[in-house]
């Protein structure tokens, strides 16, 4: 597995494509700061191992990223604005509870600061979020604005079932000109116009624990292409 970053450079009137291969995901992704368990309302007591399974983590390995309880991972370096970006990966929902109340979800956020909100439910603070909503059998695109609790719905698509323990291949394409496409298992699900945002990171995070229900998933085969 490799993460590909392709930088397009204009040199003497011609395009030169330089391929830089990062053999390890740890070269490109890092764990971000999660505030799950720090609220007065939903505080997880520090130092008590009984609550450790509900604490948030995003464990970035060489070949996969393991998410627990709204752990967040983000790009290590800024992503150049107004350049095409393609992110491909395979996701598998693992622990959780079936049904409407304790559903699973997974968010891929473009054009973000990479910062999670300190207040519950600890969604991303800003950016364009592509969210896999397993409980609703759909994908939504939300625009999160700094300081605004409820995001704007940009677009959505239904008719897809995300089952636990089953791999799904995702492809998200941002053409650098406010156009975003989302593919699931090579089928185009969304083709949307997205608003202007200020962030220069990409972030990934899963669902927070609810009523003692632990949430986990894994992301593998990650390929990030910038400018190609």
CATH number at residue 36: 2.60.120.560
35 domain residue, yes or no: yes
Domain limits for position 53? 16-215
122 vs 148: CA distance, rounded Å? 12
Residue pLDDT, tens place only, 174-210: 999 999 999 999 999 999 999 999 999 999 999 998 8
Tell me the sheet residues that pair with 68. 57, 216
Lowest mean pLDDT, pick from 2-6, 15-19, 141-145, 195-199:
15-19
Residue 28 has pLDDT above 90, yes or no: yes
CB 132 within 8 A of CB 105: yes
The percent of residues in the chain predicted with pLDDT above 90, rounded, is: 71
Residue 8 has pLDDT above 70, yes or no: no
- Find where tokens 């994908």 sit: 139
97 domain residue, yes or no: yes
For the chain, report the end-to-end CA distance as a whole number of angstroms. Answer: 19
pLDDT of residue 224: 95
Residue pLDDT, tens place only, 78-134: 998 889 999 999 999 998 876 555 578 999 999 999 999 999 889 999 999 999 998
226 domain residue, yes or no: no
Q: Collapse the DSSP code of 155 into the 3-class scheme (helix H, G, I; strand E, B; otherwise coil) and give the result.
A: strand
Total count of domains within the chain: 1
Provide the mean pLDDT of the chain: 87
CB 95 within 8 A of CB 214: yes
200 domain residue, yes or no: yes
- The Cβ-side half-sphere exposure at 75, using a 13 Å CA radius, reads 24
2 domain residue, yes or no: no
Q: Residue 72 burial (CB < 10 Å; 0-12/13-18/19+)?
A: buried
pLDDT of residue 135: 81
102 domain residue, yes or no: yes
pLDDT of residue 98: 60
225 domain residue, yes or no: no
Q: Which residues of 166-199 are buried (b: 16+ CB within 10 A; e: fewer)?
A: eebebbbbbeeeeebebbbeeeebbebebeebeb
Residue pLDDT, tens place only, 44-63: 999 899 999 999 999 999 99
The bridge status of strand 72-75 relative to strand 85-93 is: unpaired
pLDDT of residue 12: 28
171 token code pair: 């492809």
206 domain residue, yes or no: yes
* pTM exceeds 0.85 for this model: yes
């Amino acid at each position: 597995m490799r993460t590909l970053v392709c930088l397009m450079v204009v040199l003497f009137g011609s395009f030169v494509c330089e391929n830089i291969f990062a053999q390890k995901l740890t070269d490109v992704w890092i764990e971000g700061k999660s505030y799950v368990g720090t609220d007065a309302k939903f505080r997880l007591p520090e130092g008590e191992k009984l609550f450790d399974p509900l604490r948030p983590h995003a464990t970035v390995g060489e070949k996969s990223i393991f998410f627990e309880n709204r752990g967040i991972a983000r790009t290590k370096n800024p992503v150049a604005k107004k350049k095409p970006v393609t992110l491909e990966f395979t996701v598998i929902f693992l622990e959780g509870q079936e049904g409407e109340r304790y559903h699973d979800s997974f968010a891929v956020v473009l054009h973000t600061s990479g910062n999670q909100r300190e207040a519950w439910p600890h969604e991303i603070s800003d950016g364009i979020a592509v969210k896999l909503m397993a409980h609703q059998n759909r994908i939504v695109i939300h625009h999160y604005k700094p300081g605004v609790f409820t995001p704007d719905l940009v677009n959505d698509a239904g008719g897809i079932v995300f089952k636990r323990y089953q791999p799904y291949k995702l492809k998200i394409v941002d053409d650098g000109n406010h156009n975003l496409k989302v593919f699931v298992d090579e089928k185009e699900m969304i083709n949307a116009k997205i608003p202007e945002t200020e962030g220069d990171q990409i972030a990934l995070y899963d669902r927070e624990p609810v009523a003692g229900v632990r949430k986990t998933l894994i992301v593998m085969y990650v390929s990030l292409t910038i400018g190609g």
